[in-house]
Every structure is written in C-alpha cells, then in structure tokens.
C-alpha cells in the first residue's frame, strides 16, 4: 500500500487467482493500437508531404516555364529590333560608303602633304642650323688653338680626389726661386705643332 491510499491497479501485484498476462495483454494491445494509429498518422503526414512537394514542384515548373516563355518572347522581340537596326545601318553605310571613302582619301592626302611639307621645312631648317654649327665649331677650334698658343701649353687639371694642379709642357724647367711665395717655372718657347 502507498501512504496516501489504496494501491492503484498498475501498482498492485497480480493476484494469484487472475491470469498474470491480462494486464500485460491489454497494455500490449493498447501499445499496438497506439503504434498502429501513430503509423497511420505518420503515413498520412508523409502522403500529405509528398502531395504538397509534388504540387510545389509542379507549380515551380509551371512558373519556370512561364518565365522562360516570357524571356524568350522578350529576347526575340529585342533580337528583331537589333536586326532591323542593323539592316538600316548597313543600308546607310552602303549608301554613304563612297562619300566616306572619298573623304578618308582626301584627309589622308592632306595629312601626307602636311607631313611632307613639314619634313622639308625641318630638313631645310636643320641644314641651316648645321651650317651655323659647323661655322661655330671652326671658330671655336681657331680660338682653342690661339688660347693654347697664348697659354704656352700650360693646362689646369683636377684629380678624381679633388686636388687641383697645373701641367707644364714638356721641357719646362723648375727654378729654385720664389715670387710672391710661389715657385717659379721656366716654360720654353712654343714650337709649332707637328701635323
């Protein structure tokens, strides 16, 4: 017995005069009925799910076909517009092709003439500049020869280290005299260069 009252039927032990399997048999029957009901319910749910899935698939397929048909119609219309535009432009190009070819030839001829004239002008200008440069070179060469004669062959140089020095011509003689604190060198008279 339980503390609150008489024992319940499930808690009571089977009496020896009753068949011990009656309660168990009823429980098994009940579980079997519940299992059958549950299986039937699951089967109905599965059938509903399949039917809904098939309906949705059919609906999706139908909407895809409708969309594809609309896209196909619109692309065909667009393609027809493009082809008509292409035909119009091709006809216009054929009509004006000779005009364009003549204009292009004239432009090419004008460019060629301009470039040829510019090249001749530049060549003449370069010849004038070249003659002026040659005259200037001759003048500078004469000045250099005169300076070399006037400088008695003395050359000023600077080494890579930055030291400055004077190169005297061959035959120059160093004296032991000083003028203004500087050593004096005697430079021989210039001899004309041998050519």
- Residue 164 near residue 127 (C-beta atoms within 8 A): no
Ramachandran angles phi, psi of 179, nearest 5°: -125, 125
Q: What is the pLDDT of residue 49?
A: 92
Q: What is the pLDDT of residue 47?
A: 94
What's the token pair of residue 8? Answer: 């319940």
- Residue 191: the pLDDT is 57
Dihedral (C-alpha) 95, 99, 100, 101: value to the nearest 10 degrees? 110
Positions of the chain with pLDDT lower than 50, given as ranges: 1-2, 9-10, 16, 18-20
Tokens of 53: 């899935």
Which pLDDT value is given to residue 188?
Answer: 66
Residue 175: its pLDDT value, please?
A: 72
CB atoms within 10 A of CB 152: 13
- Position 50 scores a pLDDT of 92
The model carries a pTM of 0.29
Strand partners, 165: 157
Which residues are within 8 A (CB) of 15 and not within 5 positions of it... i.e. 6 or more apart?
Answer: none
The per-residue pLDDT for 2 is 46
- What gap in Å lies between CA 9 and CA 26, rounded to an integer? 13
Query: What CA–CA distance (Å, rounded) separates 15 from 69?
Result: 79
């Amino acid at each position: 017995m339980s503390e609150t009252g008489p024992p319940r039927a499930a808690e009571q032990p089977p009496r020896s005069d009753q068949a011990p399997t009656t309660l168990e048999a009823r429980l098994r029957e009940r579980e079997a009925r519940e299992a059958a009901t549950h299986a039937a319910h699951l089967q109905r749910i599965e059938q509903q799910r399949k039917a809904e899935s098939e309906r949705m698939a059919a609906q999706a397929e139908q909407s895809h076909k409708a969309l594809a048909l609309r896209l196909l119609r619109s692309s065909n219309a667009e393609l027809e517009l493009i082809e008509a535009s292409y035909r119009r432009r091709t006809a216009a190009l054929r009509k004006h092709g000779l005009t364009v070819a003549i204009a292009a030839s004239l432009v090419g001829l004008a460019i060629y003439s301009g470039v040829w004239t510019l090249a001749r002008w530049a060549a003449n200008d370069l010849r004038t500049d070249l003659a002026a440069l040659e005259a200037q070179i001759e003048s500078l060469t004469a000045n250099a020869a005169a300076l070399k004669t006037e400088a008695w062959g003395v050359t000023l140089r600077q080494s890579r280290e930055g030291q400055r020095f004077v190169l005297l011509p061959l035959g120059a003689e160093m004296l032991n005299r000083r003028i203004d604190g500087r050593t004096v060198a005697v430079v021989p008279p210039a001899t004309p260069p041998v050519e």
